[in-house]
Structure 1
């Protein structure tokens, strides 16, 4: 039985299709994984949700619980939000919490829970002035945002996938570093 819990939150971007392998990698590193998805991400991988719940041992969540319902997951030691899309980065930074995972991540800032986020956006989106402002807001709130250069995801041209793939290893290593392991 593992004693460290990580919340893995994913937005609807192509790397979400790799989430089972990411869960397994986290488990190999000794993490108990709770998987949360934006509604769009849940719809993208709908056929896999039952298997992912079995793999994690927890329900996969994409909606808020009703008032009075108990929490279905243990408390996290750290949150990994990857892939996180343009829309989700901006919603989170602006405090727009209509999506469950955004609400939990926003609240985690106030609770002092370490958060690692790695965007998955194309180079056209990052030209929008709000994106860099949102990244800065999250970084100021002590979120470790892995974006650009060797530090994380490097935006690709619209419609293209980076030839080296999404840098999941950087995100997983950052989770370990966030909790000092």
Structure 2
């Protein structure tokens, strides 16, 4: 049986690899629904139709209108990656003006398995709000893939999107929601 993964991405360079990540998740038995921050959706602009075709679901970057049907199946798990400084802090504070942050904030209360892997540089992590937000999310039961065994920040301007540890993120999702037997 297929598991449904909501893959949510922020505007950080690894988001440009999202098609490959979707294919890897699909080969691991996930039905993937892609959600993006508005800026990430703008970055991927012309490729959004192709990503929708790849997943079989519309790519979303905004809330649906009240009364409109939900176009995605229910999530078995949610992965927020890459997650920017802004996305992580907004989530920890419960600032839900953006679709993906609203879904994961509500997901905590619904008991949906949630994981996040930051993509921030070493300058951002010096801001006290970042560590506070990581701690808050962990205390709320979110798997935060940061530090040893997860994302390790680079110096500003020295990040390499190909070094982003997507494999760790997908493995974490399989650990949170193991494959179901048919």
TM-score higher than 0.5: yes
- Alignment of 1:92 onto 2:91: yes
- Alignment of 1:81 onto 2:102: no
Q: CA deviation at 1:3?
A: 2.3
Following TM superposition, where does structure 1 have runs of at least 4 consecutive aligned residues deviating by more than 3 angstroms? none
The Cα offsets for residues 87-118 of structure 1, whole Å up to 9 and x where unpaired, read as 00000000000100000000000000000100
Residue 120 of structure 1 is matched in structure 2 by 119
Q: CA deviation at 1:86?
A: 0.1
Q: How far apart are the structure 2 equivalents of 1:166 and 1:47? A: 23
Q: How far apart are the structure 2 equivalents of 1:99 and 1:176? A: 26
Residue 165 of structure 1 is matched in structure 2 by 163
TM-score (ref. length: structure 1): 0.96
| RMSD of aligned alpha carbons | 1.1
Gaps of 5+ in 1: none
Q: CA deviation at 1:31?
A: 0.5
Residue 35 of structure 1 is matched in structure 2 by 34
Residue 45 of structure 1 is matched in structure 2 by 44
Gaps of 5+ in 2: none
Are the aligned partners of 2:14 and 2:161 in contact in 1 as well (CA < 8 Å)?
no
The Cα offsets for residues 20-72 of structure 1, whole Å up to 9 and x where unpaired, read as 00000000001100000000100000111000000000000000000100111
> Secondary structure in 1 aligned to 2:66?
coil
Count of aligned pairs: 179
Q: CA deviation at 1:162?
A: 4.2
Are the aligned partners of 2:80 and 2:116 in contact in 1 as well (CA < 8 Å)?
yes
